[in-house]
Every structure is written in structure tokens, then in C-alpha cells.
Amino acid sequence: MYAVFKRELFSLLNSLMAYITIGVFLMATGLLLWFFPDTSILEYGYAELNGFFSLAPFLFMFLIPAITMRSFAEERREGTYVLLATRPLTDWQIILGKYFACFALIVFALVPTLIYYYSVYKLGFPEGNIDSGAAVGSYLGLLLLGAAFVSIGIFASSITKNQVVAFAVSVFICFITYNGFDAMSQVFSLQYFESILLNLSVNEHYQSISRGVLDSRDLVYFITFMLFFLGLTRLVIGGRKW
């Protein structure tokens, strides 16, 4: 699995697409947090990063599918997956190797955003007047959210040879799982389905972790969510004759 991880990570780092998507993510968050008056922290006047943590999931819906869309789709299109599948590797080793490589790139994209926390920490009055616990919880929530979206992207890439189709399918599933269940729960308000749909919503569990309280139910949800889509990926590539 480590060999697949290293191969996939180096392939991503040698791809211009990875740098473009990460650059767009950082530029978008930077402009919205510091320059645009309607969303600027300087205009808002409070030492908190709620704007960033509310914006990042929607940028992830496009950033992560752009990174994961080539995972299996490109290998299938170029016929190189056959060479990979004939090596002494199990399906799970291949899937997890690609999964962790894409997730590592998401971590690389989040590391530069720590400058936002440092800036708000220094600008606060008095200095350090920021809820660090909530910030740590929100970053943990973003990592779990990124891991969940990567599992969706890997699955979407495994069902098609076309990277554009994989990107579109991944964005759609990410949007439905993040926002769709919340919207449907309001349709079924005051009914039994409301609580079920809210419990299935990624946004509900992400917001719960972002409050700075780590609940085992949220962790179990994200782990189950990732295993579900990775399991679907295993069924797709395991049941196909390449």
C-alpha cells in the first residue's frame, strides 16, 4: 500500500492540476476573509474564524473532486490499471494507497491556512483573544470532512473512464450529502423523518465538531461514511473485468 501511496502522491505533486486547485482554494479563502468587505474579518471586527470554516466545505466540494477525479478514471482510460492490478496487491491496498495520497494533498492545502489563525490571534484585542478550542475543533472537522469527500471522489472516479464525469458525479454526491439531507429534513419537518435525515447529514456532524466538542457519535459517523464509500469502490473495481 505504501508503494501505491508514494506513486500516487508523487503523481499528484507532478500534476499542474493539483497546484491549480490548491492555489484557487487558498486564493478564494484569502480574498473572502481579508479583502471582500461583506465577508472580511477586518470589517466584521471579531476575533474568530467562523467565516473561513463556513466557506471551506463549499470550496472542498470542488477542490477535492478535482484532485480525486484522476485516481481510477485516468488509469482506466490509459489502460495502466491492468499493470497495477497484476502486481501482488490486494484491491484494498490499491484503494487505500490512492485514498491516503489524495487525503495527504488535502492536508497540504490546509496547512497554509494556519496563517489565518495566527493573524487573528495577533490582531485580537487583547492579543490571543480567540477561542483556540473552537478553532482546533473546526480544523479537525475540516480534516474529517475532507476525508469523507475524498472517499466520495475515489468512488466516483472508479465508476467511469471520463475524468469530467467523475468530477461532476463527485461534486453532486458531496453536495447532496452535505446540504441535501438538511434541505429534505425541512420538507419533513415535525415528522419522524426529520431526525433521521439530520443524523445522515454531513453538515450536522461537521457543525457539531466545529463547536469544539469531540463527540464519539460524530467520529463514528465519519468513519462509517468513509468506509461505506470505500466499500462501494471495492465492489466496483472488484467486480469489473479490466
Sequential pLDDT tens for the chain (242 residues): 788 888 888 888 888 888 888 888 888 888 888 787 777 777 776 667 777 888 889 999 999 999 998 888 877 776 666 666 667 778 888 889 999 999 999 999 999 989 888 888 887 777 777 777 788 888 999 999 999 999 999 999 988 888 899 999 999 999 988 887 777 766 665 566 666 767 778 888 888 887 777 778 889 999 999 999 999 999 988 765 44
Grid coordinates representing 231?
Answer: 466499500
Distance between CA 222 and CA 205 in Å, rounded? 8
DSSP H stretches of helix in 47-125: 50-68, 73-78, 81-85, 91-110, 114-123
Rounded to whole angstroms, the Cα distance separating 48 from 123 reads 11
Among 163, 153, 167, smallest CA distance to 226 is for 153
Residues 178 and 143: their CA atoms lie apart, in Å, by 15
